[in-house]
Amino acid sequence: MTTDPRLTPLVQSLPRTVPFVGPEAQERDRGRPFKARLGANESVFGPSPQAVTAMQEAAQEVWKYGDSESFELRTELAAQHGIAMENIVIGAGIDGLLGSLVRLTVPQGAPVVTSDGAYPTFNYHVNGYGGVLHKVAYTADHEDPEHLVAKAKEVGARLIYLSNPDNPMGTWHDAETVQRMIEAVPEGTLLVLDEAYIEFAPDGTAPPIDPQDSRVIRMRTFSKAHGMAGARVGYAIGDAGLIAAFNLVRNHFGMSRISQAGALAAARDADWLAHVQAQVATARDRIHAIATDNGLTSLPSAASFVAVDCGADGTFAKAVLNGLLERDVFVRMPFVAPQDRCIRISAGGPEDLDLLAEALPGALADARKL
């Protein structure tokens, strides 16, 4: 807790933590770079070459602010989803959009429901705006829609957060299950459906988009399948009234022209997206095989990473993770038991996964000595 008198009482009450410590910060602390960057769920396969070209060309006009309405990108996304552009808002990744949404909908002291151990950046925004988090446990390594809705009814939640596919476990619910959850959302509550990894999921994972349904707002991103995490482009789909409300709080010139141009080109390059999807599927299979070769099990995944069960508890998994870090392989792990028995490994290229295969036996052996 900080005691700087210039800060609001709310800010002074917050823990001095951030959701994630970035790999660059870890590299500075350790004094050397990682050889395999498999912890941040970035796409090592990179963006579309067409997106790179578009961003290079846009750099010549970077003296201009970005289009405050992201008109071309919204028009393209609206056409792809068969909705009106008034149902789409562009923001600085899903993280930025979550911050705006919480600011719009969660007054201080208002209840919000999420899963214990789900994506912590959502919690970070809720805490930062003074909301009160109520958490439910995972069930069989899946977020539990029925329990989330029940808790929302119990506490009168303003928001319910669900990621599908889930981060950090990679598990998923089918479209019918998610649609039942949407239909069960209590009056006065909004379901925040985070679909950051939806491009990697099996057909039938995402329910049809109904832009008139005021019970749900859907979040998608160019950070994962489109390989543009560093560009910070995400979008939300919702009813026109809610989407228009973002204009009351968002940073209207917060989007870079370069990022807008890259995202537009990426959205139009279906062939590159299919290429990345195939690469990720191959990488997931390789991670499953590496886990098996080391006597471990892994969870089926519909995301761009695999959760590998280290076979014990969170203390043991953390020791395995530390062993991998010492061997220059960057991975992360869930924060909450029992999911913290796993380490989470992002899809990588063949060279990255060769390094993982080389490092994991030693990391396990060291952990077993503790």
Report pLDDT digits (tens) over 94-127.
999 999 999 999 999 999 999 999 999 999 999 9
Are 227 and 43 a contacting pair, CB within 8 Å? Answer: yes
Q: Which two tokens stand for residue 88?
A: 């789409």
pLDDT value, residue 283: 98
Q: Running DSSP on this structure, what letter comes out for residue 295?
A: T
What CATH class has 51-268? alpha beta
Q: Which secondary-structure segment (H or E) carries 326?
A: helix 314-326
Say what the pLDDT of residue 167 is. Answer: 98
Q: Give the pair of three-digit tokens for residue 40.
A: 């941040």
Residues in CB range of 25: below 8 A, 6 or more apart:
none
pTM, whole model, 2 decimals?
0.96
In the chain, how many H helices and how many E strands? 13, 12
Where the chain has pLDDT below 50, the residues are none
- Do residues 222 and 231 lie in contact, with contact meaning Cβ atoms separated by under 8 Å? yes
Contact of 26 with 39, CB cutoff 8 Å? no
Q: Are 136 and 193 in contact (CB under 8 A)?
A: no
Express each pLDDT in 31-74 by its tens digit.
999 999 999 999 999 999 999 999 999 999 999 999 999 999 99
Reduce the DSSP state of residue 27 to 3 states and report it: helix
CATH superfamily of this structure's domain 21-46+271-369: Aspartate Aminotransferase, domain 1 (3.90.1150.10)
> Nearest 10 degrees: CA dihedral of 317, 303, 347, 299?
40
- Locus of tokens 């749900």: 216
What φ, ψ does residue 59 adopt, rounded to 5°? -60, -25
- Please state the domain extents for the chain: 21-46+271-369, 51-268
Q: Which residue in the block uniquely carries the two structure tokens 């958490």?
A: 135
Give the SS3 label for residue 72: helix
CA 41 to chain centre: 8
